[in-house]
């Protein structure tokens, strides 16, 4: 197809095998050549550009800037084209990987709900990744399709959460959303991601998050340590000036630069990740890490939670050969 982005790839030993192509708005998930990524081949879809949650640690701001959630131009037309011509239903779609699909603006625009109304009845597989409690609005819709939800919760401390994630719902609101999703039968997991040293890395903090999520019905957790980019590192030390000296030591002196990020020293990362694993194991939760290099610690079938997605609807047969007009008719 003319103008399509290069295909994504998956790790296979030391080589990467091309499997997917990007469309007009649906992209083949690209870990930017990072061999630490253990995600399966999949698609990424962001109805919005920018993110009104304004999390201090956000990595996406390094390439899209820090701005409110804005609907993508001609989004509906472009998605309908990709549904008809691009998406392979054998692979799931992450919604979203760089811009939350349930920002406050979703109440007005409803783009994420519209997206689900197009994808789920046609049998596409969807993994929602969000901090937005508004996802509970779509519980019934999600429960009827091939969909699962992973909610990011980094702390149960309301004050700390408001400092780290000033535009996001409170942790308790997110837990209540998980409870509703679970009541409707939507498979749920959580992302304890990122864990920042000396901020939310205590056993007490980790235990509180996992126990709240478990009580809400979550049985899967993926976690990772904070990986610094210049802009988010600046925001962190501005918000926590008392930690500036320690953070510069951990990340700039003792840490290492890997694949465009500053990582904590490996022994510090492993200590934090093992702590989460211990607490997850105690509760009987499946466990995985994200881009850490410790895949041997995983107890979950997938690192991103895609194994949670149930198959309730078979994909529309020969969807790729149908015309765009056919899909436009389905949307009316």
Q: Express each pLDDT in 55-74 by its tens digit.
A: 999 999 998 899 999 999 99
Q: Where are the alpha helices (DSSP H) in the chain?
A: 61-64, 75-85, 106-109, 111-119, 139-143, 158-164, 171-183, 203-216, 230-239, 244-247, 266-283, 324-331
Weakest-pLDDT range from 57-61, 180-184, 258-262, 315-319: 315-319
Across 26-156, the runs of DSSP E, i.e. the strands, are 26-28, 43-45, 48-49, 70-71, 93-95, 126-130, 147-152
Nearest to 222 by CA among 297, 160, 166: 297
Least confidently predicted of 124-128, 289-293, 317-321? 317-321
**How far is Cα 97 from Cα 82, in angstroms, rounded to an integer?**
18
Arithmetic mean of pLDDT, 24-43? 94
Band the pLDDT of 32: cuts 50, 70, 90. confident
Q: Taking 70 as the threshold, does the pLDDT of residue 321 lie above it?
A: no
| CATH superfamily ID and name for 8-311 | Aldolase class I (3.20.20.70)
Written as six digits, the tokens of 272 are 């934090």
Q: CA–CA separation, 227 vs 209, rounded Å?
A: 20
* Whole-number average pLDDT of the chain: 92
Confidence of residue 17 (pLDDT cuts 50, 70, 90): low
Residues 6+ apart with CB under 8 A from 289: 222, 223, 224, 273, 295, 297, 298, 303
Closest CA to 135 of 103, 171, 98: 103
Strands 43-45 and 26-28: antiparallel
CA–CA distance, 207 with 285 (Å, rounded to integer): 12
Q: What is the pLDDT of residue 317?
A: 59
pTM, full prediction: 0.91
pLDDT tens sequence across 281-314: 999 999 999 999 999 999 999 999 999 999 999 9
pLDDT digits (tens, 9 = 90+) for 167-177: 999 999 999 99
Domain borders along the chain are 8-311
Residue 319 banded pLDDT, cuts 50, 70, 90 = low
Query: Residue 92: CB partners within 8 Å, gap ≥ 6?
Result: 40, 42, 43, 124, 125, 126, 127, 146, 306, 309
Q: What is the pLDDT of residue 31?
A: 86
**pLDDT value for 316:** 79
């Amino acid at each position: 197809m003319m103008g399509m982005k290069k295909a994504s790839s998956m790790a296979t030993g030391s080589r990467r095998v091309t499997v997917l192509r990007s469309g007009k708005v649906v992209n083949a998930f690209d870990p930017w050549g990072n061999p630490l990524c253990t995600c399966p081949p999949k698609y990424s879809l962001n109805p919005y550009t920018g993110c009104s949650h304004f999390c201090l640690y956000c990595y996406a701001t390094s390439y899209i800037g820090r701005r409110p959630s804005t609907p993508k131009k001609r989004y509906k037309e472009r998605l309908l084209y990709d549904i008809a011509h691009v998406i392979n239903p054998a692979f799931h779609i992450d919604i979203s990987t760089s811009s939350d699909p349930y920002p406050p603006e979703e109440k007005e625009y409803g783009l994420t709900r519209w997206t689900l109304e197009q994808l789920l009845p046609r049998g596409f597989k969807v993994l929602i990744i969000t901090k937005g409690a508004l996802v509970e609005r779509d519980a019934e819709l999600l429960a009827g399709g091939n969909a699962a939800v992973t909610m990011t919760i980094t702390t149960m401390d309301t004050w700390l959460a408001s400092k780290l994630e000033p535009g996001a719902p409170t942790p308790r609101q997110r837990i209540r959303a998980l409870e509703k999703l679970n009541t409707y039968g939507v498979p749920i997991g959580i992302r304890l991601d990122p864990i920042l040293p000396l901020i939310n890395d205590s056993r007490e903090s980790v235990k509180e998050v996992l126990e709240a999520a478990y009580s809400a019905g979550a049985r899967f957790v993926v976690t990772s340590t904070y990986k610094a980019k210049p802009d988010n590192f600046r925001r962190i030390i501005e918000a926590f000036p008392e930690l500036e000296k320690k953070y510069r030591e951990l990340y700039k002196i003792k840490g290492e630069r890997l694949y465009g990020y500053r990582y904590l020293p490996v022994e510090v990362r492993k200590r934090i990740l093992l702590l989460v694993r211990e607490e997850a194991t105690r509760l009987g939760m499946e466990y995985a890490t994200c881009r850490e290099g410790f895949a041997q610690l995983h107890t979950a079938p997938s690192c991103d939670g895609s194994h949670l997605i149930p198959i309730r609807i078979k994909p529309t047969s020969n969807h790729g050969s149908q015309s765009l007009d056919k899909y436009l008719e389905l949307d009316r």
